[in-house]
A and B are shown apart, each in its own frame.
Chain A
C-alpha cells in the first residue's frame, strides 16, 4: 500500500473517474482517513452511524489494523482487510464501504450493502395454490438466507466461487454434507473455477458451462425459483448453484422426469398428483407427436385412420391449396410467432392480440380455405400440450417440427425411426453420472414411487436411487 494521497488517486483511477465512485475524506483527531463507496450501493445511515461516527469519535487513537478497526467499528456486519488494491476495489464495486487510514498497510472494507433489490415475492413461473410462495431474487445473499432458514443443521454448506473477469459474479455451490456425492460437488466446483469469461449476468451462462452438450435441444440442468423446491432437491442429494444477479438457481444432476414434477405435486394428495402427471405425459405426447402423426397419416399411412375420421379429413382438406406438411408448418409457425409475440407484448395489448391471433386469424384462415379446421385443431392441441411441461417447451417445440418433416417424408415409419433415434440419444445422456431418463431407462424400481406415479410422503423412504447416493435413507419407519 502506497502513501495516503497516492492511494486516493490510484483508487479513483481504478474506477476510471466514474461519477458514482465517492471519496469522502475526513480526519479523526490528526489521522487522515477516507471513506470510499459506490453511490447507491451502500446504506448511508449505516455508514454515518456505524462507521463515520465511531471513527471520528476514536480521534485516530487505534491501531490501523483489522483488529484495531474491529475495536472501533463494532456494529459492522463484516469487516475485512485487503492487502491488494485490486481485491479492495472489487469489494467496493460490490457495495462495501471502504476505509483508508493514513499509515495503515491494508485497506479495510465494511459490509454496508444497501442497494435496492426486488422484494421476495411469488415467482411468476411457479405459481401455486398450496405451498410456500417465496421466490428467489437477484441478490445471492438473500437467496442464501432463504435456503439457510430451511435447514436447522450445519450440514448445509455453501462453497464460494467468483466468476467473470469484469462482473466478478459471486456464485455459491450449496449442498448437504453427508448426502450429496462428493465427486459431483467437486466436479461442479472444478468446472466453475475453470470458467474464464468476461462476465456472467445470469445463471443460464453458468449452466452452459456445467452442461456437456451445449447444442443439444435437451436441457441438462434443472432450475428453480423456489427455495422450498431447492431445499427438497438438496435433501434428495442434488447440488444447487446460486448465481448472484439471477433468481434462477441451478440444480444438478438433472433428470428429465424432474420437469414433469411441479412444486405443488408435493403438497397435493398423491392420487391427484398421479393423475395430473399422467395428464402431463399425455400432453407431451400430444405436443410432440400429434402434428407429425397427423401429417404422416394423411400423406402415407391413411389406412390407420377409422373410415369416418378419414372422410372428415378428406372433406376438410378438399380445396386447401397446400400440402398437408406445408399446411401444418404454416399453422405451427403461426402459433410459435403468436406465442413469442404474446410474451413480449405489453399487457394492454396482450388480450386484444390473443383474440386477434387465436380466434379471428385461426377462424379466418379456415374460412378462407388456407388451412383446414382439423389442422388448426391439431396445432392448438399440440401447442397447449407443450405447456404442460413449461420447462421443456423449447426442446419439444423443436422436436415436433422436426417430426412433422419426418412424418411428411417417411410417414409413421420414419417417425418411428426418428423417435427411436431421439430415445437413443436421450437414453445415452448422463448428467454427472446420472442417467437422464432414469427411472425408466435404466429401470430403477424404487424411483417409480415418485416418477409419473406419486406415492404418499410416508412411503417415500429412500432418496432417488438413480443418484447413487451413499446415504439413501430419507425416512425411517
Chain B
C-alpha cells in the first residue's frame, strides 16, 4: 500500500512536469555570440554580433558571421538579430563587448544596464571602446586569425597583462562607476591595415596578407585609453598615460621597457617579468604614494656597432635610473592628465577615506584631487 502511494505521487509529479513542459532548443538553433559591438545614434542602438557558424566536419574550426540590427534598446536589437538569423542569440560565450563612439558619448554605463542584468553574459567579459564604429572593429578581418573577437581577447589577456595597454572587464567597469569620483576608463581598440614589412610580434605588427586574398587584413592597436567620469566620456589618454595607468592598476606580466642611454647612445630593452604597484595614503597631508615594483630581464643592448644579447649583465645604476624615470613619467602623465579634467583615475578618494575615515571625509575632502600630491617610487630588480 505504501509503495502504491509512492508510485501515485511519482506519477502525479511526472505528469505535472510533462504538462508544464521544458523547452529544449537544439545547439544548432542557437547563435553563439562571441563578440558584441554596440553603436548608438539619435535613433537608438545598432548592435553587431559576431556569431559562430558551424562547419560540416568534426573539426574544431568554425566560420563566423556578423549580424547587425537596430532598435531603440539593446535588448530589442538583440531580439532582432535572433529574428534575422532564425537562431536564438545566446551570450554565454560572449567574452568581448566593444562600445562605439556613439555609445560612449551617450553614456557607457547607462548603455550597459541590460548587459549587467543579463545572467548569461559573464561579468568577466572584456569591455573596450572604439574610436569610431564598434561594428567596424568586430567585422575587420584580422591578419593572424579569422575571428576578431578571439584575436582581441588573446592580445589583451592570453599570457597576462601588458604594460602598454589597459584591460577592463564589465565587472571592473561597474565597480569603478560606484566609487566616489566615478572615474573610469576603457582601452580603445583601433584597427590598421597590416603592413608586410613590419615584423610580427611588435606592437600592432602583422604578417603580409595571403596572396590572392583580395581583402584587407588588419591588426589592432590598444595604445590609448578612453577616460570617463560618471559614465560620460571625457578624453583619450595617450600611450604614455595608458602605460602609466597599466603600471598602477594591473599586475603586469608581459611587455617591455626601452630606454636610451644619453651618454653612450645604447638602447636597452628590458623584458618585464612582473610588475605590481602598491598604493599608500596620508590623508592629513593629502599625499598618495605609489610604489611600482618591477622585475625585469635585460634582453637586448643595441649599440651603434653591434647587437648582442647580454649574459648576466647587470645594468648600471644609470640605466636603472632611466627605467625608473620612464615608469614614473608614465604614471605621472596618467595622473596629471586625468586630474586636469577632474578625474580621480587612481581613486585617491578611496585611499584617503580608507585611511582617514569619516573625519577626513567630513572635513578635508572637498578639493582633495586638486590639492593631492602623488609620489611615485619605483623598485626595480633584475632577474
Contact = CB atoms under 8 A, between A and B. Distances in A.
A410 B52 contact: no
Interface stretch (A50-58, A121-129, A185-193, A312-320): A312-320
A34 interface: no
Contacts of A323: 24, 26
A126 to B, nearest CB: 35
A311 B24 contact: no
Nearest to B52: A311
A246 interface: no
A373 interface: yes
A316 B62 CA distance: 12
Nearest to A311: B62
B8 interface: no
Contacts of A117: none
A410 B16 CA distance: 14
A310 B22 contact: no
Given A311-B62, A409-B17, A318 B26 contact: no
Interface stretch (B53-61, B252-260, B302-310): B53-61
B56 A310 contact: no
Interface in A433-459: none
Interface in B21-60: 22, 24, 26-28, 30, 32, 34, 52, 54-60
Q: How large is the interface on A (under 10, 10 to 19, 20 to 34, 35 or more residues)?
A: 20 to 34
Interface string A298-312: 111011000110111
B24 A299 contact: yes
Contacts of B26: 298-299, 323-324
A180 to B, nearest CB: 32
A371 B90 CA distance: 26
Interface in A314-332: 314-319, 323-324
A408 interface: yes
B57 A302 contact: no
A315 B56 contact: yes
A311 B52 CA distance: 8
A317 B54 CA distance: 9
B178 interface: no
A307 B34 contact: yes
A370 to B, nearest CB: 14
B93 interface: yes
Given A303-B93, A315-B62, A408 B55 contact: no
A311 B92 contact: no
Query: How many B residues touch the partner, as a band?
Result: 20 to 34
B93 A310 contact: yes
Contacts of A307: 32, 34, 93
Contacts of B61: 311, 315
Given A323-B26, A409-B17, A318 B54 contact: yes
Contacts of B59: 312, 315
A276 B34 CA distance: 41
Which of A315, A373, A374 has most chain B Cβ within 10 Å? A315
A318 B120 contact: no
B309 to A, nearest CB: 36
Contact of B92 (A303, A312, A316): A303
A410 B22 contact: yes
B148 to A, nearest CB: 15
Given A303-B92, A303-B93, A307-B93, A314 B28 contact: yes
A129 B232 CA distance: 75
A264 B32 CA distance: 50
Contacts of B90: 302-303
Contacts of A317: 27-28
Contacts of A318: 28, 54-56
B54 A300 contact: no
B277 to A, nearest CB: 33
Contact of A315 (B17, B22, B58, B93): B58
A405 to B, nearest CB: 11
Interface string B78-109: 00000000000010110000000000000000
Contacts of A300: 24
Nearest to B58: A316
B115 to A, nearest CB: 15
A312 B30 contact: no
A302 B62 contact: no
Given A307-B34, A310-B32, A311-B61, A298 B56 contact: no
B58 A373 contact: yes
Nearest to B91: A303
A315 B62 CA distance: 8
B22 A314 contact: no
Given A303-B92, A409-B17, A409-B22, A311 B27 contact: no
Interface in A180-208: none
B362 to A, nearest CB: 47
Interface in B123-142: none
Contacts of A299: 24, 26
B24 A302 contact: no
A298 B62 contact: no
Contacts of A319: 56
Given A302-B92, A303-B92, A373-B58, A313 B34 contact: no
B126 to A, nearest CB: 14
B27 to A, nearest CB: 5
A315 B24 contact: no
| Residue among A298, A310, A312 facing the most chain B CB atoms (10 A cut-off) | A310
- Which 6 interchain pairs have the tightest Cβ spacing? A303-B92, A314-B54, A316-B58, A311-B62, A318-B54, A299-B24
29 contacts: A298-B26, A298-B27, A302-B90, A302-B92, A303-B93, A307-B34, A308-B60, A310-B27, A310-B32, A311-B52, A312-B58, A313-B27, A314-B27, A314-B52, A314-B54, A315-B54, A315-B60, A315-B61, A315-B62, A316-B58, A317-B27, A318-B28, A318-B55, A318-B56, A319-B56, A323-B24, A374-B58, A408-B24, A409-B22
